Every structure is written in C-alpha cells, then in structure tokens.
C-alpha cells in the first residue's frame, strides 16, 4: 500500500508484509537526516490489546539508527521492551518488525498509524483519521496469493 499528502513532514508511506514481518518505508519531504527532522519524532502506533509503539531513532554521531519497541497497557505510560537494528535511515526510513514482536499472531487484524511529534505534541498523523488495516497473513497466505 501507499499514502501521499502535500505540505507535511512525511511525503509518503509504503508498507507491505510477508507471513512473518511488517515492512515500512517512510519518505520525508526534506530527508530524515536534516536538523528539522532530528527535532521531530516519527512513531508508529500499533493498536493491539497491549498497545505497541515503534520509535524510529535516526543515527546521531557514532550512534546507529535504532528501532525502539515499546508497550503500554493504556496507551499512555510506555515501557521499552526491545531495541532493534532492523531500521535503515539514509534518504528514506526503512523498518522491518516481526508481527510476533508487535503482539500479533496469524489472522489478527493489524491496525496502525504513523505520527510525527515535536515534544509531546502530535503535528502530523497518517492517515489523518482511522488506521491502516490488514490481517496478519495465515499459513495459507502464499498459496492463496499465487497461482499458475
């Protein structure tokens, strides 16, 4: 899938999946390594029974980019549960995260949105209303998608 909006920090979002992994590519208007982007936080909110948040941390100095996975019971107080290096940041931001790490199993509904925050203020949300939604693929996903 893809989304595109004008006059924003994010210019486009792509997402896809295989049976085990959610993949995302986030394009920014000015590029993710500008000073303006370092002041903003790009976060992906996964709406599950126990809320999950992916914080996309760009590289800084000698530090590599990080994907920080956090969990919350109420969507307010967040607790870090994992730091992943399955993130790439250059001209775009690319992320891969296993559905299992998001607390999702096959046939669960994936519901997420992407937010740009400055401080504690959300300045941008993709999509503006609602969520990006699709089911976690089951065991027969590949067989159902391919035919000869």
pLDDT in 10s for each residue of the chain, 148 residues? 654 544 688 999 999 999 999 999 999 888 776 777 777 889 999 998 789 999 998 888 888 889 999 999 887 889 999 999 999 988 899 999 999 999 999 989 999 999 999 888 999 999 999 999 999 998 777 666 666 6
What stretches of the chain show up as alpha helix (H) in DSSP? 35-39, 141-145
| 121-127 contacts, C-beta under 8 A, 24 or more apart | 123/9, 123/40, 124/8, 124/9, 124/10, 126/3, 126/5, 126/10, 126/13, 127/3
- Token representation of residue 60: 């800084």
């Amino acid at each position: 899938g893809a989304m595109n909006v004008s006059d924003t920090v994010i210019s486009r979002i792509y997402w896809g999946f295989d049976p085990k992994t959610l993949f995302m590519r986030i394009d920014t208007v000015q590029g993710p390594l500008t000073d303006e982007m370092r002041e903003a936080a790009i976060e992906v909110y996964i709406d599950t029974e126990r809320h999950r948040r992916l914080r996309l941390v760009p590289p800084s100095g000698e530090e590599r980019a990080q994907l920080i996975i956090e969990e919350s019971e109420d969507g307010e107080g967040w607790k870090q549960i994992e730091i992943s290096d399955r993130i790439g940041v250059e001209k775009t931001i690319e992320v891969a995260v296993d559905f299992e790490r998001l607390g999702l199993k096959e046939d669960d509904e994936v519901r997420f949105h992407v937010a740009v925050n400055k401080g504690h203020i959300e300045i941008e949300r993709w999509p503006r209303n609602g969520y990006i939604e699709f089911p976690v693929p089951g065991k027969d996903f590949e067989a159902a998608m391919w035919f000869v």
